[in-house]
Amino acid sequence: MNIKFIKNDKFKSNSITLNIPMDLDEKVTDLNLVTEMIKVGSKKYDSFKKLYSKLQEMYGAQFDCYLNKHGEVVIFTIYISFLKDKYIIENISLWKEVIDFLYEIFYNTLNDGNCFKKDFLKIEKESLRSNILSLVDSKGYYAYIKCEQLATKNEPYSNYSYGNIERLDKIDEFNLYEYYKNLKTLPYYFIVMGDFDEEKIKEMLSERFGDNIKKSFSTNNNKFISTPFVEEFENHEVTQTKLVINFKTDVTIFNGDYYAFFVFNCILGGGYSKLYREVRQKQSLVYYINSYYEKFKGLVSIECGVDDKNLEHTKQTILKEIESMKNGDITDLEIENAKMSIRRLLISIHDRVSTMHSFVSPLYIFDRYIDVDEFLNNINQVTRERIIEVSKTIVKSAIFSIRPMKEVE
pLDDT in tens, 26-41: 999 999 999 999 999 9
- Among 153, 182, 214, the domain-final residue is 214
Q: Is residue 224 part of a domain?
A: no
Domain count across the chain: 2
Q: Do 245 and 192 belong together in one domain?
A: no
Percent of the chain with pLDDT over 90: 89
Burial of 130: CB neighbours in 10 Å, binned 0-12, 13-18, 19+: exposed
| Choice among 202-211, 327-336, 345-354, 365-374 with the minimum mean pLDDT | 345-354
For residue 407, what pLDDT is reported? 53
Q: Do 166 and 50 belong together in one domain?
A: yes
pLDDT mean over 181-196? 96
- Among 214, 239, 259, the domain-final residue is 214
pLDDT mean over 359-383? 93
Q: Is residue 340 part of a domain?
A: yes
In whole numbers, what is the pLDDT of the chain averaged over residues?
94
Q: Is residue 220 part of a domain?
A: no
Q: Do 203 and 248 belong together in one domain?
A: no
pLDDT mean over 272-293? 93
Question: How far is 214 from 227, CA to CA, in rounded Å?
Answer: 38
Strand order in the sheet with 286-294: 230-236, 395-404, 241-248, 299-306, 286-294
pLDDT at 235 over 80: yes
For residue 220, what pLDDT is reported? 85
Q: Do 327 and 386 belong together in one domain?
A: yes
Q: Do 197 and 271 belong together in one domain?
A: no
pLDDT mean over 193-207? 96
Q: Do 161 and 30 belong together in one domain?
A: yes
For residue 352, what pLDDT is reported? 86
pLDDT at 105 over 80: yes
Q: Is residue 223 part of a domain?
A: no
Q: Do 238 and 149 belong together in one domain?
A: no
Contact of 194 with 86, CB cutoff 8 Å: no
Neighbours of 18 (CB within 10 A): 23
Q: Do 165 and 207 belong together in one domain?
A: yes
User: What are the residue ranges of helices labelled H in 134-270?
Assistant: 139-151, 165-170, 173-183, 198-209, 258-269
Amino acid at 162: Y
pLDDT at 123 over 90: yes
Burial of 376: CB neighbours in 10 Å, binned 0-12, 13-18, 19+: middle
Question: How far is 69 from 299, CA to CA, in rounded Å?
Answer: 13
pLDDT mean over 243-255? 96
Percent of the chain with pLDDT over 70: 99
Q: Do 66 and 203 belong together in one domain?
A: yes
CATH code for position 53: 3.30.830.10
- Among 151, 181, 214, the domain-final residue is 214
pLDDT mean over 343-348? 90
For residue 38, what pLDDT is reported? 96
For residue 14, what pLDDT is reported? 96
| Choice among 170-174, 210-214, 347-351 with the minimum mean pLDDT | 347-351
Smallest Cα–Cα separation from 149: which of 159, 141, 139? 159
Q: Do 198 and 271 belong together in one domain?
A: no
Neighbours of 305 (CB within 10 A): 18
For residue 409, what pLDDT is reported? 46
Q: Do 131 and 270 belong together in one domain?
A: no
Burial of 6: CB neighbours in 10 Å, binned 0-12, 13-18, 19+: middle
> What pairs with residue 62 in β-bridges?
81
The CA-based angle 108-365-259, given to 5 degrees, is: 150
Q: Is residue 221 part of a domain?
A: no
Q: Is residue 380 part of a domain?
A: yes
pLDDT at 408 over 50: no
The answer to whether the predicted template modeling score (pTM) of the entire model surpasses 0.85 is yes
Q: Is residue 391 part of a domain?
A: yes
pLDDT at 89 over 90: no
Q: Is residue 325 part of a domain?
A: yes
Q: Do 281 and 195 belong together in one domain?
A: no
Q: The domain containing residue 82 runs over which residues?
A: 3-214
Contact of 325 with 391, CB cutoff 8 Å: yes
